[in-house]
Chain A
Amino acid sequence: MSSQESKPEIRGIIALKPEACTSCMLCVRECPTWCISLDSHQAPDPANPAGARPRLINVLDDFRIDFARCMSCGICVEVCPFDALKWEDTKDYDESTREAMVHHSDQLSQHWSEQ
């Protein structure tokens, strides 16, 4: 069965909206297969009004999902308080190497479609 003919109930891929992610680590810690990891750092909040007390926010550096380990349970999507993760229909993400199964922020955000 080719991926185009796969049943509708078969899940696709998890997409990331990096701007929405606050690096809260909820998805990383809830993932039963430990397939999510992220890097972040703290930086002054650009939305902070001038003269106000400086605020630090988390800035996402990289977000990784290892699709070789992911079992498509969707817990990360459910647990995200900022809707930074969602299901997309793409089923064509075969890769030829083990390393390529780990999708980074740039790939994960490409999966995202605004609908």
Chain B
Amino acid sequence: MSFVEVAPADWLATAQTLKSEDFGTLMAVDRISTQRIELWLRTKAGHEVMCAVPRDGSVLMDSLTSVWNEADWREREIHEMFGVTFIRVESNKPLYFAPDSILFQSFPLRRDVLLKSRNENEWPGTKDPTDASKSPSRRKSLPVGVDPEWTPERGGAL
């Protein structure tokens, strides 16, 4: 088990050093506080490589498909869900969404995406168990992912 953080320029080279190991997984995390999206590579043997790219898409990532073919699916997923763009064109091909999907208007797994269904449905947690007739202010007890300023007219991405 080991962990290393690398710059985007070293992403592919680092992966090549792990080529002898089986591909484990490749995933992304949106770190909105630092305006970066982290790509996490993990091999079956447990070696982890992390690389942070700016959220604004100013850095194109090298594809790892030359090292492991399995990375293709994950890269397409990361492109679709987080908006990370890869130099290899095939890694940016749509994976889950139909071409006419409304989901294309956003990157659904980014943390600032508003979930329309969350804003349209009542949160079960608003209920006050000591007084069923009283509904506390929605604004006071909103969970994460719900924008108090949301209106159906303004809409959200999903």
Contact = CB atoms under 8 A, between A and B. Distances in A.
Interface of A: 23-25, 28-29, 31, 34, 36-42, 56, 58
B132 interface: yes
B36 interface: no
Interface residues of B, number: 12
B129 to A, nearest CB: 4
Given A29-B141, A42-B131, 6 more contacts: A25-B127, A25-B129, A34-B118, A34-B143, A37-B124, A58-B129
Nearest to B117: A34
A29 B124 CA distance: 7
A41 B132 CA distance: 7
B129 A24 contact: yes
A41 B130 CA distance: 7
What secondary structure prevails in chain B residues at the interface with A? Answer: loop
A23 B132 CA distance: 11
Interface of B: 118, 121, 123-125, 127, 129-132, 141, 143
A58 B129 CA distance: 7
Contacts, number: 34
A28 B130 contact: no
Contacts of B125: 25, 28-29, 34
Contacts of A37: 124, 127
A64 to B, nearest CB: 9
Contacts of A25: 125, 127, 129
A40 B131 CA distance: 9
Contacts of B123: 34
A36 B124 CA distance: 7
A25 B131 CA distance: 13
A40 B127 CA distance: 10
What secondary structure prevails in chain A residues at the interface with B? Answer: strand
A56 B127 CA distance: 18
A41 B127 CA distance: 11
Contact of B121 (A24, A28, A31, A34): A34
A28 B143 CA distance: 11
A28 to B, nearest CB: 5
A85 to B, nearest CB: 15
Nearest to B128: A25
Nearest to B133: A41
A39 B124 CA distance: 10
Q: Max chain B CB contacts within 10 Å: which of A23, A25, A31?
A: A25
Nearest to B132: A41
